[in-house]
Amino acid sequence: MIPDSSPFTDPAYIAALERHGCAAPENGWTPRHIDGPRGRVVCYEKAHSWGEFVFDFELARAHRQHGLAYYPKLVACVPFTPVPGARLLAADDAGRLSLARELQAQAEFRHSGAHVLFADPAECALLAADGWIRRVQLRYVWHARGAGSFDDFLARLPGKKRKNIRAERRKLAGFAIGWQPGSSFDAGEWQRVFQLYASTYHMRGQAPYLNLACLQDWAAHFGERLQFCVARQAGEMVAMAFFFEDGDTLYGRHWGADASYDGLHFELCYYQGIERCLARGLKHFDAGVQGEHKLARGFEIELAHSAHWFTHRGFHDAIARAFEHERVALQRHVAEAAGDTERGAD
C-alpha cells in the first residue's frame, strides 16, 4: 500500500476525531474502515449528511418521497474536513478498484449507496469508468504564482479589489494579530480558543463538530503544522482561526470571534494566511468550499471531486443525469470566472 502523507488521513488525525467522540456512533458516524492487504479506506456508516460538505439533502428527500430509506449510507471521507486527497489508499489502480468494490459490497444490503468524497480526480476518473457517478463542486484556492510579497499579490488584482482589500485591512489597526502553534497554549488559552471556535456554531444553533480534547490531541501530534492566527485587544484573545500546513500548502480550517468585528474574519481567515504563505514560501492556500466572496480577495475557483454509487438502479441512473448537468454548469462557471479574472487584471 502507498501511504497518503496528508495530515487529514494521518491515523492520528482520524483517531482523535473518534476517540473524543466527534466522529462516533452517538453522533451518527459509525466507523466502517477497510484495512486489509489491498489497502485502506477511512469510511463511515452515516445516519445523516452533516459534516460532509458534499450536500445531498435533496437526494435524501427524493428517497423519502418514493418510500425508500436514504440513511444509513456508506461514506468514504475525512469527517468535517472538505480537503481533497486520496481516499482509496492502495498501491495501484487494481488495488483501488478492489477497495471501491468492497465499498459497494458493504453497501449492497444495508445502505442506500456508497460515496467517496473530496477524492483525488484520478480516483474519481477510475471509479467513473467502473460505473460510479462523478460529482463536482466548487472550492477556493489561492496560488502564489511567483508573488514575493503581499504588495506583489495585490499588484496582479484589478484596482477595485486592491483598494477594497487595503481598506479592509486599515480598519484593524487596533488589533494585535499573531501566529502560534497550538502546542504553545496554556490551559486558559485553550479554553478561550475553544470558546471562540464553538461560538461560530452556537450562532447558527448548532453544536460544534469538534471538541477541546480533539484539538489538543491534534496540537500534541502535529506540533508546528497546526497553527493558530490570534487577534487580541488589550491583551485579551477576541478572535482566532486555525490552519494546517502540509508541504507547500496552507489549509484554512475554522474560525471564531467573541463579537462581530468589521473585516476581522477576512483578515484572520484570508489575508493573514496569504501573508504566511508568502513569508514561508508556500505556494497554495486552500480556503475550503463555499463562499464566492473569496473571489474578491484573490482566491480562484477550482473543482472538488466525488464519486457515488446507489444501490437502487433507477435512482442511480437518474442521479447520474442530474449530476452530469450540474457538472457541465459548474465547469462553465469556473471557466467564466477565470475569464473575468484575466479581463479584470490591470
pLDDT in tens, 167-188: 999 999 999 999 999 999 999 9
Q: Are residues 108 and 179 in the same domain?
A: no
Residue 297: inside a domain: no
Q: Are residues 314 and 248 in the same domain?
A: no
Evaluate if residue 243 carries a pLDDT over 70: yes
Banded model confidence at residue 121, pLDDT cuts 50, 70, 90: very high
Residue 261: inside a domain: yes
DSSP per-residue string spanning 75-122: EES-TT----B--SB-SSHHHHHHHHHHHHHHHHHH-SEEEEEEE-HH
Range of the domain at 319: 7-138+302-344
Q: What is the pLDDT of residue 98?
A: 96
Residue 14: inside a domain: yes
Residue 151: inside a domain: yes
Q: Is the CB of residue 72 less than 8 Å from the CB of residue 46?
A: yes
Q: What is the pLDDT of residue 1?
A: 40
Residue indicated by cell numbers 437502487? 312
Q: Are residues 242 and 274 in the same domain?
A: yes
Q: Are residues 67 and 117 in the same domain?
A: yes
Residue 108: inside a domain: yes
Q: Are residues 151 and 267 in the same domain?
A: yes
Pick the range with the lowest mean pLDDT from 103-117, 231-245, 281-295. Answer: 281-295
Mean pLDDT for the stretch of residues 278-305: 93
pLDDT averaged over every residue in the chain:
94
Cell of 243: 490552519
Q: Is the CB of residue 1 less than 8 Å from the CB of residue 89?
A: yes
Q: Are residues 115 and 28 in the same domain?
A: yes
pLDDT tens digits, 309-345: 999 999 999 999 999 999 899 889 888 887 765 555 5
Q: Are residues 156 and 273 in the same domain?
A: yes
Kindly provide the b/e burial profile for residues 224-255, where b requires at least 16 CB atoms within 10 angstroms of the residue's own CB.
ebbbbbbbeeeeebbbbbbbbbbeebbbbbbb
Evaluate if residue 289 carries a pLDDT over 90: no
Residue 316: inside a domain: yes
Evaluate if residue 18 carries a pLDDT over 80: yes
Q: Are residues 181 and 71 in the same domain?
A: no
Q: How far is the C-alpha of 43 from the C-alpha of 23, rounded, in Å?
A: 11
Domain containing residue 261: CATH number: 3.40.630.30
Give helix 57-65 / helix 313-344 axis angle, nearest 10°: 150
Nearest to 178, CA basis, from 232, 233, 242: 232
Residues 136/140/141/147 CA torsion (nearest 10 deg): 140
Task: Say how far residue 46 (Cα) sits from the centre of its chain.
Answer: 18
Q: Are residues 152 and 131 in the same domain?
A: no
Contacts of 44 (CB under 8 A, 6+ apart): 23, 29, 30, 31, 32, 74, 75, 77, 79
Q: Are residues 132 and 159 in the same domain?
A: no
* Identity at 143, one-letter amino acid code: H
Contacts of 300 (CB under 8 A, 6+ apart): 140, 141, 142, 143, 337, 338, 341
Mean pLDDT for the stretch of residues 287-303: 90
Q: Are residues 66 and 127 in the same domain?
A: yes
Q: How many domains does the chain have?
A: 2
Banded model confidence at residue 94, pLDDT cuts 50, 70, 90: very high
Q: Are residues 338 and 236 in the same domain?
A: no
Q: Is the CB of residue 122 less than 8 Å from the CB of residue 92?
A: no
Residue 236: inside a domain: yes
Residue 288: inside a domain: no
Can you give the pTM of this predicted structure? 0.93
Q: What is the pLDDT of residue 346?
A: 52
Q: How many CA atoms lie within 13 A of 92 on its CB side?
A: 1
Pick the range with the lowest mean pLDDT from 259-268, 288-297, 311-320. Answer: 288-297
pLDDT tens digits, 35-61: 988 899 999 999 999 999 999 999 999
